[in-house]
Amino acid sequence: MGPPPLSPQENKAALTHAPRHHAPRPAGLLLLACCAASGCLGPRGGDMEVAPGIDLPAHYQSGALQGEPLEASGWIAHFDDPALPSLVAEALENNRDLRATAARMRAARAGVQIASADLLPTLSADADARRFQRVLTSSSRLVGSGAGAVSRDRVNDFGLNLNLGWEVDLWGQIRNRARASGADYVASLGDYYAAELSLSANTTRAWFNAIAGESQVRLAGDTLESFQSSFNVIEGSWKKGVVTALDVRLARANVAGARAALSARQRERDAARKTLEVLLGRYPSGQLRTRTTLPELRKRIPSGLPSELLNRRPDLVAARFRLEATLQRLKAARKERLPSIRLTGSGGLSSDDLYQILDLNRLTWSIASSIGQPIFEGGRIRGEIELADARADEALHDYAQIALDAFSEVERALAAEDLLRVETAALEEAATESIAAEKLALDEYNRGLVDVITVLESQRRSFESQRSLIEIKNLFLQNRIDLYLALGGPFNSTP
């Protein structure tokens, strides 16, 4: 079941108002989805399936659903990060790609106005003034002359005219083109909201990547210090003749490896910062400051998540209305074979003297009609029909594929949520144990109970487990972003 149809005023608003740059708007996405479900641009808009030819479940199959009720708050608020909303708002305000998408949307809206203008009569006015010379020849002959008398007359001519023209939309061909342009505009609205949603998601991703990068740099720095401290102890023991040169070389290799790891983590952090700065519309200086720990995500996926939520995905709405536009153009192409009727009329005033130009006694007018029927076009009309039919078929399959991909994205994200949660818990335990093992190994080494290889191995495992824990926490957050992006927004019960 879809949402209830919009009122005529709401439908009109969807086709006449362009969104501005601001934070994500659930209401705007709702309006766009309602347009798709209610078929505001013609009968074909409302009765198309979400994914033609695909047997869809009533609810998504994957995911650890915890029985939490559905709610309609914005998905950005699900991340416990107070800096995130302002960053997303900055990106939506300044991002150049989004501004380009908004310009394309305005162009599509102008196309609606252009196409709709053909439904109305055209009226034009013109005024002209002429001065010319006439040559008059008398038929009588002068005495003694073989030629007629010639006289020249200079004449003024002033005119004021109105011209009216109207092509009668007898078969609805012009209306089909206007509906196609309207569908193109709604599709461009979908593109804009899809770009807005994608930009919000990419900004959030980049912010978390930058935080994870900062965490990795700090961990790598701490690890280098730890390895250096261990190396100093081992080198001191070697000088005393307690350990062999092999132990020293292994410890020195650990220090060199930690130094290389720190450099790599710094490079990755700087790249993440610059990526985020570009998304925010800033110069990529790499100077953006971030927090040092990733935020927690305590929001659980609600139970009974309906698959019809996908109706609100803006890219799917855009594909749906592009299909509608091709169907309308196909109808218009087929009607090219039918006769056309055009009505014309004109009226005006004409006078030799300018001061008499408004004299209604000099009014002239005419009314005419014409009918045209294509007879031979060299196959042009047939070719246009085949072209429109092929594009409609292409749009149908594109729409079905986008819908199928969308369902796949949601199911993958839901399935990954469970596995990532288990993996995170396991890595948290591994990190805790390996940190404790590192301290214990170093203590026992100082007491001569274990060899240096045990110490170095415990340090390596501690570093790797902590590094993996940061990665999995970031991946868990990124997967939730994927889910919100795949659903087209938060866990709303109504598309």
pLDDT (tens digit per residue) in 33-42: 444 444 443 3
Side-chain half-sphere exposure of 70, counting CA atoms within 13 A: 13
- pLDDT for res 73: 38
3-state helix, strand, coil in the chain (%, to 5): 60, 15, 25
Instruction: Return the structure tokens found at 364.
Output: 């002239």
Look-up of token digits 């929001």: 299
pLDDT in tens, 217-236: 999 999 999 889 888 888 88
Query: Does residue 118 surpass a pLDDT of 90?
Result: no
Only one residue has tokens 């309602």, namely 34
Whether 21 shows a pLDDT value over 70: the answer reads no
Report CA torsion sign: 266, 268, 270, 273: negative
Does residue 110 register a pLDDT over 80? Answer: yes
Instruction: Specify the pLDDT at position 304.
Output: 65
Angle in degrees, 0-180, between the axes of helices 26-38 and 173-239, rounded to the nearest 10: 140
User: What are the beta bridge partners of residue 154?
Assistant: 133
pLDDT on residue 53:
52
Amino acid letter, residue 327:
L
Amino acid identity for residue 360 in this structure: L
Strand order in the sheet with 148-168: 122-141, 148-168, 340-351, 363-372
Instruction: Answer whether residue 2 shows pLDDT above 60.
Output: no
Q: How far apart are CA 407 and CA 388, in angstroms?
A: 29
Region 192-221: what's the mean pLDDT? Answer: 93
For residue 283, the SS3 value is: coil
Give the bridge partners for 150, in sequence order.
Answer: 137
Note the pTM of the prediction, 2 decimals. 0.74
How high is the pLDDT of residue 148?
A: 63
The confidence band for 341, taking pLDDT boundaries of 50, 70 and 90, is confident
Predicted pLDDT at 160: 80
**How far is 327 from 352, CA to CA, in rounded Å?**
56
- Per-residue pLDDT band at 274 (split at 50, 70, 90): very high
User: What is the mean predicted confidence (pLDDT) over 13-38?
Assistant: 41
Identify which has the larger pLDDT, 48 or 154: 154
**Cα dihedral 179→191→491→418 (10° resolution):** 130
What pLDDT is stored for residue 26 in this prediction?
Answer: 41
From the list 285, 273, 205, the residue with the least C-alpha distance to 481 is: 205
**In the beta sheet, which residues pair with residue 156?**
131
Q: Which region, left, alpha or beta, applies to residue 165 given φ > 0 means left and ψ of -120 to 50 means alpha?
A: beta
Give 239's pLDDT tier (boundaries 50, 70, 90).
confident
Report the half-sphere exposure of 255 (CA within 13 A, side-chain side).
Answer: 17
Average pLDDT of the chain is: 80
At residue 463 the predicted structure's pLDDT band, cuts being 50, 70 and 90, is very high
Task: Quote the tokens at residue 45.
Answer: 């808009």
* Nearest Cα to Cα of residue 153 among 131, 129, 140, 136: 136
Q: Residue 141 — φ and ψ, nearest 5°?
A: -110, 140
Gap between the Cα atoms of 13 and 331, Å rounded: 26
Q: How far is CA 260 from the centre of its chain?
A: 40
CB atoms within 10 A of CB 14: 21
Does residue 468 register a pLDDT over 70? yes
pLDDT band at 115 (very low <50, low <70, confident <90, very high): confident
Q: What is the pLDDT of residue 278?
A: 93
Average pLDDT over residues 351-364: 71
pLDDT at 321 over 90: yes
Give the burial string for 413-440 (b: 16+ CB within 10 Å, else e): bbbbbeebbebeeebeebbeebbebbee
**Cα distances (Å, whole numbers) of residue 203 to 71, 98, 474:** 24, 13, 14
Interhelix angle 314-334/26-38, nearest 10 degrees: 30
pLDDT at 18 over 50: no
Q: Is the dihedral of CA 231, 237, 241, 246 positive or negative?
A: negative
How many other C-beta atoms are found inside a 10 Å radius of the C-beta of residue 327? 24
Q: Which helix (H) or strand (E) holds 166?
A: strand 148-168
Dist. CA 344–CA 371, nearest whole Å: 11
**Confidence category of residue 57, pLDDT binned at 50, 70, 90:** low
Helix or strand or coil: residue 11?
helix
Cα 395 from chain centroid (whole Å): 18
Domains along the chain with CATH numbers: 8-119+172-335+383-487 (1.20.1600.10), 128-169+343-372 (2.20.200)
| Weakest-pLDDT range from 67-81, 160-174, 350-364 | 67-81
